A and B are shown apart, each in its own frame.
Chain A
Amino acid sequence: MKITKEIIERIEGEATLELEWDNEQVTFAKIKFFNYRGIEEILKKRPLLDALALTPRVCGICSHSHAIASVLAIESIFENQGESLHVSQKANDIREIALNAEKIHNHIKWYFFSILPELKRVADPTYHGNAYKEKQWFQAQNAIMESLKMGAHFTGQWPHGSFVMAGGVTCDPLQSDVVSAIGCLDSVISFCEEHFYGMPLEEFLSFDSALQVMSVPSALSYGIDEMLKQGFDRLGRSYDRFLALGKSYMYEGSLKASKTAVLGADVKYVQESLEHTFFEDKHKGYTYSKSAQYKKSYCEVGPLARLMVAKEPLMRDFHRRFKDAALTRVVARAVECAHLIARTKQLLSKLNLKEPSFYPPKKDIHSLSGEGVGIIEAPRGTLIHQVDVRNGVIELYNIITPTVWNLGNGNRENPSTAQKAIIGLNSFTKADFILKSFDVCSVCTTQ
């Protein structure tokens, strides 16, 4: 048996992919994450609200997501202690706008900065890519900036804004902020129409067939063609099992899907495992990434999972043709991006500024004891924050990030989602791309 180890670059952080081979075929894969930072440990014995400022530092690319998961966890402690906080519609909308800004920017960044250069490299191994030399790179960078600027009108800054508080949001925007934010979003829309989708957003959103997307020249159809050429329409398939525990306007409650069958889900069936980590065994462990399962099964989380549980017609058509292959997973980010843009535009135009931003809790936070859970859908999938507090001081803080679902390590008998997608491949380059199709974030994974 041959074993190869390679470092995966140009993801968020870095990972090592160790592949076991037999007859030129991958028989098992270990996905290793190092560079642990220990935010959960750092939070211990700190005042509860510090979590709102410190958890965003888990990850520079999804800092608002952590802030929102954290505030939901804190609000749920109040709830568990008998005080249901009233959060106004306006505050909820602002939280969603901020989260969407982060998702939209993430999807564009990932597609234009990671996936396109990767596809060029797969097609031509001598291509190393140089972001700064390509015009489209600058256009994408501008769209990314505009998306974040749109959100910053409410969050104060990106990354690492702190705009949420138990009971609402801290900002009190004016109509002029909203107008300016809409202007930013409109320039994101122009970029997407011109480059990403090659057609008006509305038209793209009306599609229910993969062929409609593929027939129009665009960065997306170019990517799809390249993936078809490389066989990524068949490669990278996993369990075809999806999970979305956080709320979305596209579906009701928490859901899971097995292929196309959608069922209700509950966070109580989530289990986190330390197997194969340095935390469990300093010597035998090989990664800092924990792994997460739902009723002992590995499930895929992320945009594809969200669109599958939402029964989104275009995604269903891609899935009907290609199952949960790498191609489907990549396309899902592009499709979700379009929905998020349309939804955000709607939220901005109906934002009711007359409502209060914040209702202070009655209970003094310093006397608060109990447990709480906050669940949201972050750019890469379900993100869970669990906190245990005694007299306003954090006893225990636990974070389950999306990448822990997709990229944790299982066993040979029960490999994780990404492992399953990699086993059976015949080249490292392909394995590298399949791994990246999950939008790997090692900083989130190792916290």
Chain B
Amino acid sequence: MKHKSTIVWLQGLTCNGNSHSFLNYPQMPSFASSFEMIYHPLICGAQSFSTVLESNEHFDFLIIEGALSHDERLLQRFGIPFYEILDNFAKRAKHIICAGSCASFGGIFRLRDPEKITGALFSGKEKGGYWLEKSNVVNIPGCPLHPRWLVETLFALRDRDTLLLDEFLRPKEVFAYLAHHGCLRNEYFEWKVDSKQLGEKEGCLFYEHGCQGPMSHANCNKILWNGVSSKTRAGSPCLGCTEFDFPRRALFETQKNMSLPQTPFGISKRAYYTVAGVAKSFKIERLEKKLIDENH
């Protein structure tokens, strides 16, 4: 039998959301037959925290959840300054995985003190977070991350030599997609039909309700959450939780410039507005009506 890869999970400033999201992984027995959780703060692991801290043993994966800081008044664990624990663990880990937007970019908690609270290698968009440089870090942002993103990355690193990453060190298999892909409202987006009001299946949330789907890298609308749904499927806008600037201000509003919304990722403004104008001029009856109409 192949030796199981070992994992140590460490929490910085966090809401524990990534840990709980991970517990939603549907094929947990399969995961557990390949990985050994040596230590996790919430789940009974094979060893206690102090045993792991005192040993010199190496392990395969260090998973970090939560924003980081060198300031011990802001962040300590078990009465020990956090940097002591993290530096000790980081030296012994083959791969370091930042689970969630906080560990990747600083996330929501960075907002309180952006000088001192950061992600592992990034502070928001800027390079240089808790560490200036490190070659074995993979970022899996998301607030929280999807359990499949984490588990599939762990398997990839364990079984393959290469894992393609984008400029923010995010695995391309997940983050080459946009949250917009797989959204059931896509046709409304194409023909510029906005959702008149919330609470309805019809219409796109891009024009009035702040949807960040076309600007947010993630395959959540492809693989879905909890196996069944997603924010946009439940009628609420994508908040852009996988991007370095999460959370933006006014998350439920579309920021407009001369009454025009932001342009989707990778399109020139001019071209977009021209095409949008043309699309809007079509009136497609089917898209103006209720999706399920009792009278017809």
Which residues does A use to contact B, with CB under 8 Å?
A: 5, 7, 9-14, 16, 34-35, 37-39, 41-42, 46-47, 49-50, 52-54, 57-61, 63, 91, 109, 113, 117, 128-132, 138, 141-142, 144-145, 148-149, 152-163, 165, 168-172, 174, 180, 356-358, 360, 443
Q: Note all chain A residues with C-beta closer than 8 A to B5.
A: none
Report B77 CB to chain A, min CB distance, Å.
Answer: 7
When chains A and B are docked, how far (Å) is the Cα of A128 from the Cα of B40?
13
Instruction: Please judge, given known A-B contacts A50-B247, A61-B16, whether A158 and B225 are in contact too, CB under 8 Å.
Output: yes
- What separation, in Å, do the CA atoms of A301 and B97 have in the docked complex? 38
Complex interface: chain A residues within 8 A of B236 (CB)? 156, 161-163, 165, 170-171
Give chain B's interface secondary structure class: loop
B137 CB-CB contact with A under 8 Å: no
CA distance A28 to B33 in the complex (A): 45
In contact, B28 and A49 (Cβ under 8 angstroms)? no
Q: Which of B45-88 contact A (CB under 8 A)?
A: 45-49, 75-79
User: Is B111's CB within 8 Å of the partner chain A?
Assistant: yes
Answer yes or no: B198 CB below 8 A from chain A CBs.
Answer: yes
**B14, B108, B229, B235: which contacts A157 (Cβ < 8 A)?**
B229
- Whether B144 is near chain A, meaning CB under 8 Å from some CB there, is yes
Asked if A46 meets B249 with Cβ closer than 8 Å, knowing A10-B44, A132-B32, A159-B20, the reply is yes
Q: How far is the CB of A32 from chain B (nearest CB, A)?
A: 10
Most-contacted residue by chain A among B220, B226, B236, B252 (CB, 10 A): B226
Q: Give the docked Cα–Cα distance between A5 and B78 (Å).
A: 11
List, sorted by A's number, 14 A–B pairs whose CB atoms are closer than 8 Å.
A7-B79, A34-B76, A37-B15, A47-B252, A130-B44, A131-B37, A144-B23, A145-B23, A157-B220, A157-B226, A165-B236, A170-B234, A356-B199, A357-B198
CB distance from B19 to the nearest CB of A (A): 7
Given contacts A148-B226, A158-B226, contact A9 B234 (CB under 8 A): no
| Chain B, range 234-260, C-beta contacts under 8 Å to A | 234-236, 239, 241, 247, 249-253
Is B93 an interface residue when CB atoms closer than 8 A count as contact?
no
> B225 to chain A: which residues have CB within 8 Å?
152, 156-158, 161
Contacts of A14 in B (CB 8 A): 41, 77-78
- For chain B, the count of residues having a C-beta within 8 Å of the partner chain is 65
CA distance A170 to B229 in the complex (A): 13
Structural contact, A129 and B44, CB atoms closer than 8 A: yes
11 further A-B pairs in the complex, CB-CB below 8 A; given A38-B112, A141-B28, A357-B235: A42-B108, A49-B252, A129-B44, A152-B226, A152-B229, A156-B234, A156-B235, A157-B230, A162-B239, A171-B199, A171-B235
Given A42-B112, A156-B225, residue A10 in contact with residue B16 (CB < 8 A):
no
A154 to B199, CA, bound (A): 11
- Total A-B pairs in contact (CB under 8 Å)? 203
- The reply to whether B41 and A59 contact each other, CB–CB distance below 8 Å, is no
Residue of A nearest to B4 (CB): A132
Of residues 1 through 30 on chain B, the ones whose CB sits less than 8 Å from some CB of chain A are 11, 13-21, 23-24, 26, 28-29
B158 to chain A, nearest CB (A): 17
Interface centre among B15, B17, B48, B230 (most CB of A within 10 A): B15
Residues of B within 8 A of A443 (CB): 14-16
Asked if B143 is at the interface of the complex by the 8 Å CB criterion, the answer is yes
Is A172 a contact partner of B226 (Cβ separation < 8 A)?
Answer: no
A159 and B108 contact, CB distance less than 8 A: no
Chain B proximity of A62: nearest CB distance (Å): 10
Q: What 8 pairs between A and B have smallest CB-CB spacing?
A: A358-B199, A156-B234, A60-B17, A157-B225, A357-B199, A170-B235, A152-B226, A129-B44
Contact of A131 among B14, B44, B49 (CB under 8 A): B44
A residues near B222, Cβ cutoff 8 Å: none
Determine the chain A residues whose CB is within 8 A of the CB of B48 once the complex forms.
9, 128
Q: Which residues of A contact B229 (CB under 8 A)?
A: 152-153, 155-157
Give the residue of A148, A154, A174 whose beta carbon is less than 8 angstroms from that of B24: A148
Q: How far is the CA of A12 from the CA of B41 in the complex (A)?
A: 8
Q: Are A16 and B198 in contact (CB under 8 A)?
A: no
Are A163 and B235 interface neighbours, CB within 8 A? yes
Question: Using Cβ atoms and an 8 Å threshold, which residues of chain B touch A168?
Answer: 198-199
Contact status A54-B37, CB under 8 Å: no
- Determine if B44 and A50 form an interchain contact, defined as CB atoms under 8 angstroms apart: no
> If the complex has contacts A50-B250, A63-B17, are A35 and B75 also in contact, measured as CB distance less than 8 A?
yes
A199 to B33, CA, bound (A): 32
Known A152-B228, A161-B231; judge A130-B45 contact (CB<8 A): yes
Instruction: Assess the A10–B17 pair: CB atoms within 8 A.
Output: no
Contact check, B76 vs A155: say whether CB atoms are below 8 A apart.
no
Contact of B200 among A128, A144, A155, A357 (CB under 8 A): A357
CA distance A163 to B239 in the complex (A): 12
Is B188 in contact with chain A by the CB < 8 A criterion?
no
Expressed in whole angstroms, the Cα–Cα distance for A12 and B18 within the complex equals 12
In the assembled complex, the Cα of A144 lies from the Cα of B20 at a distance in Å of: 10
Are A165 and B44 in contact (CB-based, < 8 A)? Answer: no
Would you call B233 an interface residue if the criterion is a C-beta within 8 Å of the partner chain's C-beta atoms?
A: yes
Q: What residues of B have a CB within 8 angstroms of the CB of A53 in the complex? A: 239, 247, 251-252
- Say yes or no: A60 contacts B78, CB within 8 Å: no
B101 to A: closest C-beta gap in Å: 10
How far is A127 from B274 in the complex, measured between Cα atoms in Å? 68
Residue of B nearest to A127 (CB): B44
Residues of B within 8 A of A50 (CB): 247, 249-252
In the complex the two chains form, is A35's CB within 8 Å of B228's CB? no
Contacts A9-B49, A37-B109 given: A57-B17 contact, CB under 8 Å?
Answer: yes
The answer to whether the Cβ of B201 comes within 8 Å of any Cβ in the partner chain is yes
What is the CA–CA distance of A14 and B48 in the complex, to the nearest angstrom?
14
B144 touches A160 (CB 8 A): yes
Given known contacts A13-B16, A60-B19, A170-B236, is B28 in contact with A138 (CB within 8 Å)?
yes
Chain A residues with CB below 8 A from B44, complex form:
10, 113, 117, 128-131
User: How far apart are B285's CB and chain A's nearest CB, in angstroms?
Assistant: 20
